[in-house]
Amino acid sequence: MAGRVAVVVVVLLTAIAIWQTRGTGPDLSRVAVVRSPAGVMGTTCTLVAVVPAGREAMAQRGLEAAERELREVDALMSTYLESSELSAINRAAAGEVVPVSTQLRSVLRFSREVWQASNGAFDATCRPMIDLWRRAGRAGRLPLDDDIAAARSRSSWEDFEQLAGGVRKGRQSARLDLGGVAKGYGIDRAFDVLSAAGCDGVLVDVGGDVRVGGCDARGERWMITVRDPFGDRRLTDFALDAGAVCTSGNYERYVEIGGVRYSHIIDPRTGHPVDRLPSVTVLAADAVTADAWATALGVLGAEGLGLLPPSVEALIVEGDENSCRIHADEAMEQRLGTLPAPPCEVDR
């Protein structure tokens, strides 16, 4: 989201899942019109519209509309912007009804569903714990157990009520954070707008999380590359004509305290940052689902694979660069044919 706090949140790996086109020869009947706006959700952004040659102006209009969608979602759901609807909820007093857009309403409903389905691992109400660990990062001191317990008790879904007129909190201390899902939602909104513009193919990539539809400029399926979380190399790739791929990585963003890196993903069951998973890549029909489940599996690890909803697939690299394992659900394993070799065992 916009304006990440650079001191405590370090971007180590930029795009983990990247896209590329491949094919044997040029097909001049279609062109890919590309837009790479800066400053979208505080990360890199690439929007691609594949259209019949001669329809570039239509593609440009679609791309501009898609960019507007992404910026609007950020403006509504960022915790970095005081003016967002999410910040208004977080500031609100107990009992106050905060009016919210249909977009935020739908992301809150979805986030709560994933909270239930993931046995509490994905918890958009864990904002007090995120704040606590960010403050600890700035102070360079680990939080005390009592502070962790207090942060855990400050906010839960029971504190939030969705009414016709908006959202009402039961306690002032309750706080939301949609950092684990808003990007995916924004990608879906941009994708829908671009698809409605009449393109033969669409790709929306925000910070390495992608959604694709239709074909690339050569009339082929989009190639999705999953990067090795320990180095700037390919782990595996697969072709996709429709769907979204989102990656959560422990070492992608973190706070550093006493020389130790702590993940930006919090395990709501303990109040501590998770320390097991370098990389979780999730494939789903839409990006909001892939994004939320990538964060959920970041907490649950391979044990969470059994909780994935039907037709959601995942590839997990568990461990570190000295000792790691690859896990996947059955559908992902079938898609890849064979699982890639664990990246820690490859000669690097």
Query: CB-wise, 203 or 294, nearer to ligand AMP?
Result: 294
Query: Which residues contact ligand AMP by CB under 6 A?
Result: 122-124, 126, 130, 177, 179-180, 248, 264-266, 268, 291, 294-295, 298-299
Query: CB-wise, 50 or 178, nearer to ligand AMP?
Result: 178
In the list Mg ion, ligand AMP, none, the entry touching 169 (Cβ below 5 to 8 angstroms by class) is none
Q: Using CB under 5 A, count the residues that bind Mg ion.
A: 4
Shortest Cβ 292–Mg ion spacing (Å):
6
Query: CB-wise, 166 or 243, nearer to Mg ion?
Result: 243
Residue 99's Cβ-count burial label (10 Å; 0-12, 13-18, 19+) is exposed
How far is 8 from 171, CA to CA, in rounded Å?
Answer: 28
Shortest Cβ 116–ligand AMP spacing (Å):
13
Query: CB-wise, 9 or 65, nearer to ligand AMP?
Result: 9
Place of tokens 């190639």: 223
Query: CB-wise, 48 or 245, nearer to Mg ion?
Result: 245
In the list ligand AMP, Mg ion, none, the entry touching 344 (Cβ below 5 to 8 angstroms by class) is none
Shortest Cβ 55–ligand AMP spacing (Å):
34
In the list ligand AMP, Mg ion, none, the entry touching 266 (Cβ below 5 to 8 angstroms by class) is ligand AMP
What is the number of the residue whose Cβ is closest to ligand AMP?
Answer: 179
Which residue stretch of 14-22, 157-165, 179-187, 222-230 sits at the interface with Mg ion (rule: CB under 5 A)?
Answer: 179-187
Q: Is residue 243 within the footprint of Mg ion (CB under 5 A)?
A: no
In the list Mg ion, ligand AMP, none, the entry touching 250 (Cβ below 5 to 8 angstroms by class) is none
Which residue stretch of 8-16, 57-65, 148-156, 283-291 sits at the interface with Mg ion (rule: CB under 5 A)?
Answer: 283-291
Candidates 205, 228, 252, 291: give the one binding Mg ion (CB under 5 A): 291
Shortest Cβ 309–ligand AMP spacing (Å):
16
Shortest Cβ 243–ligand AMP spacing (Å):
17
Q: Is residue 180 within the footprint of Mg ion (CB under 5 A)?
A: yes
SS (H, E, C) the chain: CCCCCCCCCCCCCCCCEEEECCCCCCCCCEEEEEECCCCECCECEEEEEEEECCCHHHHHHHHHHHHHHHHHHHHHHCCCCCCCHHHHHHHCCCCCEECCCHHHHHHHHHHHHHHHHCCCCCCCCCHHHHHHHHHHHHHCCCCCHHHHHHHHHCCCHHHEEEECCEEEECCCCCCCCCCCCHHHHHHHHHHHHHHHCCCCEEEEEECCEEEEEECCCCCCCEEEEEECCCCCCEEEEEEECEEEEEEECCCCCEEEECCEEEECCEECCCCEECCCCCEEEEEECCHHHHHHHHHHHHHHHHHHHHHCCCCCEEEEEEECCCCEEEEECHHHHHHHCCCCCCHHHCCC
**C-beta of residue 190 within 8 angstroms of C-beta of residue 67:** yes
In the list ligand AMP, Mg ion, none, the entry touching 123 (Cβ below 5 to 8 angstroms by class) is ligand AMP
Query: CB-wise, 88 or 121, nearer to ligand AMP?
Result: 121
**Residue 127: what are its φ and ψ, rounded to 5°?**
-55, -40
Q: Which residues bind Mg ion (CB under 5 A)?
A: 180, 291, 294-295
